[in-house]
Amino acid sequence: MNSSIFNFKRYFVTILIITLSLLSVCLGSAEIYLRSQSKKIQNKNDYRQRLINGHAPWVAVGDSHVANGLLSTDWLDNLGQPSDNLESIISKLEIRMERPGLKGIILPADAQIFAFYRLTADQRTRIQELLDDSSSPLLILQTANKQYLTSLVWSLVTNPASLWLTDQEGERTDVLPDPKSEKWRKDAQLRVQLHTPVREIKTTLAAERYWRMVREIKMKGIKVCMVAYPLSSAYRQAIGINHNFAVVKDFYAEIAAIEKVRYVDASALIPDALFGDPDHLSDRGAIELTSRLFLECDVADTKL
Amino acid sequence: MKWGRPNYHIYFLCLASIIFYGWWNVSYLWLLLTSIGLNYVIGVYIVKERGSHKSKKIVAFAIGANLLLLVGFKYAGMLSETLTWLTTIKIEVPVTELPLGISFFTFLQIAYLIDLSKDDSSAPSFSKYFLFVTFFPHLIAGPLVHHKELIPQFDSEKKSVSWEGLSVGLTIFIIGLFKKLVLSQQVSVWSDAMFNGVAAGVTPSFIDSWVGVLSFTLQIYFDFSAYSDMALGLAKMFDIRLPENFNSPYKSTSIIDFWRRWHITLSRFLRDYLYVPLGGNQNGQAQQYVNLMVVMLLAGLWHGASWQFVVWGGIHGIYLLVNHFWRKHSPWEIPYILSIILTFTAVLIAWVPFRAVDMNSVMTIYNSMFGFNGVILPEHYQSLFSNELNSKFQKIGITFGSLSLYGGGFQILHLFALLCIVWFMPNTQQYMCNYQPCIVLTEIEPSRWKWNSGMVSSMIFGITAVYLILLAVQGKTGEFIYFQF
């Protein structure tokens, strides 16, 4: 055996050994960590159940503003999920409307629905993955987890101690950040930048789809309540006189007026103390908003 | 490591290739197998009748039949839509999924039959022919291999799997995977956002449109480069060398040079089987220009059943005409660096119809790129300029506002870093040049920076492989752009 062949053999075998051993450690640690997060798993299962089998007379759909802003109760199934865009909102409504008993829908009337990153996000697989029953027995291979696999592995590499901590996520602490802090203000500015709607939204297909969605829900005899979700004062201040936000607000108001549906502008309804971050409510804030919307959307009138 | 009995390696690779194709799309496996079977029989017949008048008729029939298959599965919808648009006559064409790799395996076999009718070689055994067409590293997206390049390599006397082949092949494969999962990933997000945004009715600003198109320009570069590397690497692991298909095309100093570096085997195919039979440059300059234009329009059409691809081919055709005309008549030569930048910009502009969803989007993007939809600078830039300057900006249509896609410093740095890789780094063939990873078709300048099979190198590639596998499990792969052709 000459030395170059030995080199190639050693090279190839070394790559294989490194790859297989390192991969086993990474995937094994990630699996162990995920299995320790029982509350997070429970939350996901609960969400899936609400989407597929939920029977509350009202549903709320939308992104994290909805997911964090409302509670699921006997009258309401909260189907809000972070990052949902118009495409996934419509798909979820279609799934729910296949079952009888739906009396009303709370639709989001937030500016970020028309933000560029939401309009262009491809979420076709998102719903299918939620409906897919044949999820892998390995948690790392389940869609909800595997999309964050590299960041999870990296966080375990940088902080191996987290492997022995359980249920870090899913807990919402009562110790909230200070809404008057500089960090809060900067977060608000960043969020506003991200959420800024595109110019001339009325020319977008999304605007047309939103309007059509409202009309079609109404035609099925289901009540619609459009809600602009609460925002902290710092967030509202960061919006300032941004023309694009004002155009979106006018657009929602126009739909509500023409289609004769309820439009609740709750953007300044909740005090800063009940926010978890500049544009998401805390648990207490969610309790408050849920009861306020019960009244504002005339839920009691829908003969529950 | 020698294979056992003669031809066992061929049967093994045939089986692996069928499984590979079936894994991607089992529903058209019958089409691939039928096409191979019929073309092989025709090939045997051509050899038998070689030299006779009948032979030419058989070849013409075979080419027609292969093209008909391609038209039927790939272009019928487009033809029907065009007919409806021109005459309002509506012909219903069933919408079917495009058989994977149909353009490649059809062209590969057409070239084989033409060559067989011209030279004096005998038909290979069926198993070797089968493997020549289906060999999985090139089956779906090329390179378009010449039968004389590949079939002799299947010879069992010479065949073995070596540690060198495995090491070199695996390394090239990892480099390719890195390009796909890391280098082309972020730019594909920006590119998709801009092009999908336009399709959804969003008019991009001047900066957003350039960021989006530049992102696609880099995405398709790394995507195709990645595929080419992975194909070469996989083949090399079985000690088979495929022809080179990609040689730093954005380093080209002209469009003529670009087409010698981008999809090299397709350019070779079009030259040998279309441009030369049309007369090439033998019948005067005017005829040469017509031939070039025809070739480029068909090259565009080969990429996809849409008029946008024809437009893309047409733009490159015009570029080539200008390039040839300039070479012949220009009084001066463009400086080296300027010629690279000019070529790159021309190629970038031409990618718009290639990627855009429809022709309306193409026009919207071009309008934005050339400032007809106004120029918007990021809002915070306003404070950088004096009031006087700001009002001057306003007068010439430059305003300040929020941009959709432009992501500031990080984005600029990211794009700049990728451009540096494209322009200044050696390509895979240069990096691996000591080990002849491919059949060289162009001039490859050796690089000072070369791969070696040392311990440090194995650790770097091993750790990189783990990272790439995690990314792949995460679902970052997506299909290669050239798989749709």
- List active site positions of B: 303
- Reply yes or no on whether the pLDDT at B38 is more than 70: yes
- pLDDT, position B37: 92
Determine which helix (DSSP H) or strand (DSSP E) holds B352, and give its type and residue range.
helix B336-355
pTM of the model: 0.82
Q: Chain A: residue nearest B203 by CA?
A: A199
A230: left (phi over 0), alpha (psi -120 to 50) or beta: beta
Hey, are the CB atoms on A198 and B404 less than 8 Å from each other? yes
Hey, are the CB atoms on B164 and A4 less than 8 Å from each other? yes
Structure tokens given for A54: 């939920």
Q: Are strands A275-277 and A280-281 parallel, antiparallel or unpaired?
A: antiparallel
How far is C-alpha A131 from the geometric centre of its chain's CA atoms?
A: 17
- pLDDT, position B159: 63
Contact B256, B323 (CB under 8 A): yes
- pLDDT, position A171: 44
Closest of B168, B174, B170, B121 to residue B149, by C-alpha: B121
Q: Give the ranges where chain A is alpha helix by DSSP (H).
A: 3-35, 38-53, 64-69, 86-97, 116-119, 124-131, 143-146, 149-158, 182-195, 205-219, 233-239, 243-259, 283-296
pLDDT interval class at B77 (50, 70, 90): confident
- Reply yes or no on whether the pLDDT at A166 is more than 70: no
3-class secondary structure, B338: helix
Structure tokens given for B87: 């005459």
Distance between CA A95 and CA A93 in Å, rounded? 5
Nearest to B473 among A14, A149, A206 (CB): A149
Nearest to B170 among A12, A26, A150 (CB): A12
Least confident of A89-98, A108-117, A234-243, B454-463: A234-243
- pLDDT, position B341: 96
- The amino acid sitting at A36 is S
Contact A163, A32 (CB under 8 A): yes
Hey, are the CB atoms on A18 and B458 less than 8 Å from each other? yes
- Which DSSP state fits B2? B
- pLDDT, position B310: 94
Structure tokens given for A261: 């549906």
- Which DSSP state fits A267? T
pLDDT interval class at A258 (50, 70, 90): very high
Distance between CA B295 and CA A244 in Å, rounded? 48
How many CB atoms are located within 10 Å of the residue A249 CB? 19
Closest of A188, A86, A149 to residue B181, by C-alpha: A149
Distance between CA A207 and CA A230 in Å, rounded? 22
Distance between CA A149 and CA A138 in Å, rounded? 13
A11 contacts on B by Cβ (under 8 Å): 163, 167, 453-455, 457-458
- Reply yes or no on whether the pLDDT at B139 is more than 90: no
Interface test with A, best of B404, B461, B468, B479 (most A CBs within 10 A): B404
A8 contacts on B by Cβ (under 8 Å): 162-164, 166-167, 453
pLDDT interval class at A169 (50, 70, 90): very low
Nearest to B197 among A17, A26, A120 (CB): A120
> Sign of dihedral through CA atoms A266, A270, A271, A275?
negative
Any CB–CB contact under 8 A between A20 and chain B?
Answer: no
Contact A279, A231 (CB under 8 A): yes
pLDDT interval class at B485 (50, 70, 90): low
- Reply yes or no on whether the pLDDT at A236 is more than 50: yes
How many CB atoms are located within 10 Å of the residue B440 CB? 14
Contact B347, B250 (CB under 8 A): yes
Mean pLDDT of B400-406: 72
Distance between CA B20 and CA B325 in Å, rounded? 46
pLDDT interval class at B415 (50, 70, 90): very high
- pLDDT, position A44: 78
pLDDT tens track for B204-259:
888 889 999 999 999 999 999 999 999 999 999 988 899 989 999 999 999 999 99
- pLDDT, position B478: 66
Closest of B401, B457, B297 to residue A240, by C-alpha: B401
Residue A263 dihedral angles phi and psi, to the nearest 5°: -125, 115
Q: Provide Rg for chain A, Cα atoms.
A: 23
User: How confident is the prediction for chain B on average, in pLDDT?
Assistant: 87
Q: Identify the contact set of chain B against chain A, taking CB-CB distances under 8 A.
A: 162-164, 166-167, 170, 192-194, 196-197, 200-203, 401-402, 404-405, 453-455, 457-459, 461-463, 465-467, 469-471, 473-475
- Reply yes or no on whether the pLDDT at A4 is more than 70: no
Any CB–CB contact under 8 A between A22 and chain B?
Answer: yes
